[in-house]
Amino acid sequence: MVDVLHAFAIEEKGDVFKRMACPAFLMFDNAAYLADMTFELPCNCKPEEVSSVIWYFQEKVGSHKTTVLTDFAGTMVVDSGHIRAGSDVLKRFSIRMFSLIVFRAQETDSGHYLCGTKKGDFFYGYDVDVQPTKHIMVAFVDRGQHVQDDYTEKLFSLFTTFWDWTRCDRCGVRGEQRRIGLCYLRSTQLHPRYRAAMPNVTSCGSRAVPARFQHRGRLRRPEVAIRSCMTPCLKEEVPEDGVQAISNVISKLGEKPWLPRVPTQFHKHPIGSDLIISCPGARPEHAVAWDKDSVRLYRSRYLINVNKSMRVFIDHGNQLHIQRVRVSDRGTYFCWREGKMVAGFRLSVMYQQRRRRTLNDPETIYAIKAIGMSYVLISIVFIVIHVCRCCWRVFRCPART
């Protein structure tokens, strides 16, 4: 059955290629994303005789440095659950049904993606702009904060294009919604080789933007708007009376009624070290929320950079960070995804066992270097002081005679 479905999927894909002819001159479709997101680039056209495609990456058109994103069989498979942010793009991609999937995109992944063959024939191209989250603008709508105003000059204008509001990240209690906005530029002087959804409009980091406008485009940052929301929980299907009575008896054996019924993972973490918790199955564009026991960790208070001295915060990729773990951090952390509680993390804090330091330890090497540099600086100061005193005495003695 799986083989039949796979063959049917390939046949359907083949029909798409028959309906869409490849352009005579290679063009680049503009696509913009926020860092840490996962994006998919379909190879929208190819000759019928081509059975597998090769994806190429170039930071700039015509660059001699080209990265081949394939195993030359079109069957590269990556488990997205083991992808780490900041890793090389060669470890964060997959090719499925001629489409390229890049997991947890980084700013360095911005550039040109070309769909072609092993011989170097290109059929379709993308101009991908991955915008950073490091200095993203945050507007809390409930506090009366507003998004950035449009910036207009004679030859171009900068503005923000917002996606739709996400779902409410919690149900039955007060939750929050996010709306992501990316930087776009409007001008009649864009490079004609690049295509976008609207004429004379492209993302700020696109290669279609003339060089004299690129500096202005980098100054405008992506945005995220956050507001409160309230939505009821969906009613779960109730089994038949007899089954329900039996399940109630079984479920109440050893049950803790004050804890939500979600899969819970137990984790021990050493005190003083950092911890990052991810929500299972969640991506940065999803609506994700975190609770500690019965305390709601709202973004209005726990979003990264809301407070410069924050030790516990949520980043824009929906991960929960706990820096320098303390004993007070132990407890159960619950994760909501798309308005439904999906997982729990029982955190236990333990003290690290004392061990003897060796000369190969990084801490020992750092301490030796610091102490050595301190002695060198003290010695230099000591020598300079004595040289100055000797010089002062030498010049003072002839004056007295």
pLDDT tens string, the chain, 401 residues long: the values are 434 344 334 444 445 445 566 777 788 999 999 988 888 898 888 777 777 788 888 887 666 677 888 754 444 434 444 445 545 556 677 887 788 888 888 888 899 998 888 887 888 899 999 998 888 899 999 998 888 888 888 889 999 999 999 999 999 999 999 999 999 999 999 998 898 888 899 999 899 998 888 887 777 889 999 999 999 988 766 555 555 555 454 445 555 554 678 889 999 998 888 999 989 888 888 899 999 998 999 999 999 888 878 899 998 889 999 998 999 999 999 999 999 999 999 999 988 766 666 777 777 888 889 999 999 999 999 999 989 988 888 887 665 55
User: What is the DSSP-derived secondary structure letter of residue 141?
Assistant: G
Give me the sign of the Cα torsion angle 43, 46, 50, 55.
negative
Maximum separation of any 2 CA atoms in the chain, in Å: 118
User: In this structure, how many other beta carbons lie within 10 angstroms of the beta carbon of residue 130?
Assistant: 23
The first and second tokens of residue 94, run together, are 């997959």
CB 137 within 8 Å of CB 222? yes
Q: Provide the 3-class DSSP secondary structure of residue 75.
A: coil
> What pLDDT shows up at residue 63?
66
Cα separations in angstroms, 299 against 209, 222, 319, 357: 34, 17, 12, 41
> What pLDDT shows up at residue 311?
92
What's the rounded Cα separation, in Å, for the pair 338 and 281?
Answer: 11
In one-letter notation, the amino acid at residue 28 is: F
The first and second tokens of residue 22, run together, are 């490849």
User: What is the DSSP-derived secondary structure letter of residue 303?
Assistant: B
Cβ neighbourhood burial of 230 (10 Å; 0-12, 13-18, 19+): exposed
What's the rounded Cα separation, in Å, for the pair 401 and 390?
Answer: 17
Q: Provide the 3-class DSSP secondary structure of residue 113.
A: strand
Total length of the chain: 401
What's the rounded Cα separation, in Å, for the pair 85 and 349?
Answer: 25
pTM, 2 dp:
0.69
Q: For 148-279, where are the E strands, in sequence order?
A: 151-152, 156-162, 174-187, 194-195, 201-203, 223-230, 264-270, 275-277
Residues 6 or more apart whose CB falls under 8 angstroms from that of 14 comprise 48
Phi, psi of 124 (to 5 degrees): -145, 150
What's the rounded Cα separation, in Å, for the pair 207 and 194?
Answer: 8
> What pLDDT shows up at residue 398?
61
Give me the sign of the Cα torsion angle 80, 83, 86, 91.
negative
Query: 197: closest CA among 14, 385, 13, 30?
Result: 30
User: In this structure, how many other beta carbons lie within 10 angstroms of the beta carbon of residue 338?
Assistant: 16
